[in-house]
Structure 1
């Protein structure tokens, strides 16, 4: 088994670059995963794991064997404490880091579990933490898909992976431009329900049992005019305080679980 003990090792330097540079992740089509649960979910989600690095004082070989199915043959590398502390964001990632191949995440690759799919669309979310929270909500609700319009970063940004707690691997995800996504939804006869302040009806009065996309924008600017002009219906969460908006992940959760309620949580 290969052992790396120096932080000056070229392979370790490349891992650090992968974590920092979206351009390199896109060029090599690889990214870094930390943590036993996250790596296990990536494997379950069909991601190709190229390499696994582990620090044996935290992650034993028996745990390693439980994580890696016998059908997979990634390169397994033992690393020193110094190397692990250099490449890990936090020591609570259980002594294991993996390099995986990314997926294209195209609209064409989406497939739905239901005849009347329930889809979350988020336009240009800026904060990785919000994207992670949206993905966790989507996983909890077992949505058919999550689509990110006009993404500000690639979906394999370490901050998205960390904040999603591995839910990026459990969701059916695609990215595209606003125009591409609207064309796609209309071709699939999916109703477009835009969370907006104007020309809206209370969200609980809308029928979400048909093929449905719930579309949310940023807290600061909301949805673009392109979405609003193509909406089947604008919906609103009535506010009873002094402000007229809430965190996008909170708003999305309210709308999603109302849709799930109408569908008897199917």
Structure 2
């Protein structure tokens, strides 16, 4: 490994680059790079074949020796930074003193195929809130879904808030970004039944058979699903409500539906 450089100035071009990558989706798309922090997230990214460009660490929080034994760094620039710099770059002070710049991946449908004969997938149409997207990805990881499709995406998948709220599950799951029409066509071509979470023409989710190839489709709490999804649904499904409101957080609803499908498949 080459000699480790040390940075102690906030005016350093690399520090400015990290801050720009964190703050600007346009910069991430232009450079094909994004920022992540924390050993767990970085380990998940590496194990999911993401390429690290640069690793910045604060020696007061983590040693070079720990980094070298924890991560594969042969092709990664290793930079030490002062506590002041790390405090400026890090979103939280519990990430063990390490931040990485990594290369993004393609998330289009080209070349994608299911690895199982009976896939279970989640489709989220036009989710905007990074926290909800992160929670959906954590559920997808917990259920070991075959894929997550984000239809008509409104938020950059490498937004730091998505990376953080997903606890790195954005790396461990196969995530596809495409428009609604393209995803519907793909699901139909692959014999995947479409079950839309909606209030109209719906059955309680416990009365529906999810044992075959299944796509569970959820929309936003504000707008629900578009007519394109509803008109192509094999069956609309709902979670019966007993309170004063008729909706739940989208990530909670998705988790309930997904794990019912998982329960049925264990039988």
TM range (shorter): over 0.9
Aligned with residue 211 of structure 1, among 213, 224, 239 = 213
Contact conserved, 2:57 with 2:80, CA < 8 A, in 1? Answer: yes
Aligned with residue 158 of structure 1, among 149, 157, 160 = 160
Q: In the aligned structure 1, how far is the partner of 2:169 from the partner of 2:256?
A: 19
Identify the residue that residue 103 of structure 1 maps to in structure 2: 105
Runs of 4+ in 1 over 4 A off after TM superposition: none
Give the gaps of 5 or more residues in structure 2: none
Q: What is the RMSD computed on CA atoms of the aligned residues?
A: 1.1
Identify the residue that residue 117 of structure 2 maps to in structure 1: 115
Q: In the aligned structure 1, how far is the partner of 2:112 from the partner of 2:9?
A: 42
Q: In the aligned structure 2, how far is the partner of 1:66 from the partner of 1:146?
A: 32
Give the gaps of 5 or more residues in structure 1: none
Decide which moves more: 152-161 or 111-120: 111-120
Identify the residue that residue 32 of structure 2 maps to in structure 1: 29
Identify the residue that residue 136 of structure 2 maps to in structure 1: 134
Q: In the aligned structure 2, how far is the partner of 1:41 from the partner of 1:111?
A: 22
Decide which moves more: 58-67 or 254-263: 58-67
Aligned length: 264
Identify the residue that residue 43 of structure 2 maps to in structure 1: 40
CA shift for structure 1 position 113: 3.4
Aligned with residue 68 of structure 1, among 68, 71, 74 = 71
Q: In the aligned structure 2, how far is the partner of 1:69 from the partner of 1:103?
A: 19
CA shift for structure 1 position 183: 1.0
CA shift for structure 1 position 109: 4.2
Q: In the aligned structure 2, how far is the partner of 1:65 from the partner of 1:38?
A: 16
TM-score normalised by length of structure 2:
0.96
Q: 1:45-99 CA deviation, whole Å, 9 max, x = no partner?
A: 11011110000111112320232126x4201111111111111111111100000
